[in-house]
Amino acid sequence: MDELERAAAAAVDGDPLAAATLVRATQSDVWRLCAALGDRQSADDLTQETYARAFASLHRFAGRSSLRTWLLSIARRVCADAVRSRRRRRLTLVRDDADLEALGRADGADRVGEGAAVTDLLARLDPERREAFALTQLLGLSYAEAAEVAGCPVGTIRSRVARARADLVEALGAAAGATGTGARTGNRELNHR
């Protein structure tokens, strides 16, 4: 039993310090996944909902996977539920592509702008590709762990990551070309393959 699992067991027994330890140890990964699969504006709410669901079912954690993987699986479902809810309300998000120009800067001075631009590019990926990319490249999960979180074969994760990388490289090339000519890339999604 690792430290996280000990904290989880103590949290089930009602130890608030153990619950806080569990959140502190995993919050950045959960938030980053929620930001990548949902959007930055709702990442805090999605993270909070993830922990609410996790603590409500923590007593059922069976240890068949790591606690981190189990928690990220819950975050994935929370994000999927949020996307479905947004679709039902037919709420459309219009993104401003001005942040894409930050990627073309040689000086790298605007790290916040670059982060927003990267988030924008990730948001344009096909949802399955974005999920695989976020799990493996942003959160550092192995392909096997990412496959467990996503509920698909390892080969599928590898394929989705490769296609996400290709889509991102293409988008960066288009953004660099658009920045040089003053044109906009528009609001197209990166799921053409």
Write down the residue that tokens 């550092």 correspond to: 140
Q: Which residue has the tokens 């394929």?
A: 159
Residues 87 and 127 both lie in one domain: no
Tell me: pLDDT of 14 over 70. Answer: yes
Which tokens go with 117?
Answer: 């631009």
Neighbour count for residue 193 (Cβ, 10 Å): 9
User: Would you state the pLDDT for residue 187?
Assistant: 45
- CATH code for the domain in which residue 31 is found: 1.10.1740.10
State which of 35, 65, 93 marks the end of a domain. 93
**CATH code, domain with 123:** 1.10.10.10
Same domain, yes or no: 86 and 106: no
Burial class (CB in 10 A: 0-12, 13-18, 19+), 84: exposed
Query: Is residue 2 located within the same domain as residue 86?
Result: yes
Do 115 and 89 share a structural domain? no
Q: Are residues 20 and 46 in the same domain?
A: yes
Q: What is d(CA 103, CA 113) in angstroms, rounded to the nearest whole number?
A: 8
Q: Report, in angstroms and rounded to the nearest whole number, the Rg of the chain calculated over CA atoms.
A: 18
pLDDT tens for 117-153 read 677 788 889 999 999 999 998 888 999 999 999 999 9
Task: List the domain range (segments joined by +) for residue 13.
Answer: 1-93
- In a domain, residue 193? The reply is no
Q: Domain check: are 105 and 159 in the same one?
A: yes
Q: What is the pTM of this model?
A: 0.64
Q: Tokens 């080969």 correspond to what residue?
A: 155
Q: How many domains are contained in the chain? A: 2
Tally of CA atoms within 13 A in the half-sphere of 93 that contains its CB: 14
Domain end: 93, 109, 130, which one? 93
In a domain, 192, yes or no: no
Q: What is the pLDDT of residues 37-91, one digit of tens each?
A: 877 889 999 999 999 999 999 999 988 889 999 999 999 999 988 877 776 654 3
Give the end of a domain, one of 93, 109, 125. 93
Looking at every residue in the chain, the average pLDDT score rounds to 80
The model's pLDDT over 16-26, given as tens digits with 9 standing for 90+, comes to 999 999 999 99
